[in-house]
Amino acid sequence: MNNILCAAIVGCSIAAGAAGAAVASAQSADGDKQFLKTASQSDYTEITFSKLAADKGSNPKVKAYAQKMVTDHTALETEMKPFADKWGVTPVMELDAAHQQKFDALQQLSGMDFDKAYMMGMDDDHHTALSLFQQEVSTTNDAEFKKAVAKGEKVVAMHTKMADMAVTKMGKKSAAGM
């Protein structure tokens, strides 16, 4: 009788563990989908602002940074597209309300004021994006997705470092120091 009771308890424990793993996997998949939506929003924002800066920037280094953002964030979107397709996540194709306001204000600036505002925005947004990528790398359970996110994290970390240096050279405090 004790053997049957022990077997039943072990069986229930295994079933509960499997159910817990299934719930954790589903939560991770939902988190992966949310990450894709947020990363897509970030990429679209970086590309939109950077196209404006590549055209309107006054400092050649700002223009070069902006062009690099367009190239790299377009590549990040391409890298994430197979996962978005697989999981039914539609890429974001518009600015959110807060970034639309910032974009509208940025369009009104010119010269060094434009360059500073653009770089400050890039610095803030890249720090936010870097945290997002770091969190996703540590929480996703999908090995292939983790590999793609880790690759993206390296790109975003490089962009963040570049923005930090540019903002500091402009005499401003970077988001890293906040």
Is 165 within a domain? Answer: yes
What are the C-alpha distances in Å from 71 to residues 11, 142, 152, 155? 54, 26, 13, 11
Give pLDDT tens digits for 101-114: 999 999 999 999 99
Residue 3 in any domain: the answer is no
The pLDDT score that the predictor gives to residue 5 is: 44
Convert the pLDDT of each residue in 118-129 to its tens digit: 999 999 999 999
The mean of the pLDDT values for the chain is 87
- pLDDT > 90 fraction of the chain, expressed in percent and rounded: 76
Residue with tokens 């597209």: 81
CATH number at residue 140: 1.20.1260.10
Q: Is residue 18 part of a domain?
A: no
Task: Give the range of the structural domain holding residue 48, as residue numbers without chain letter.
Answer: 26-177
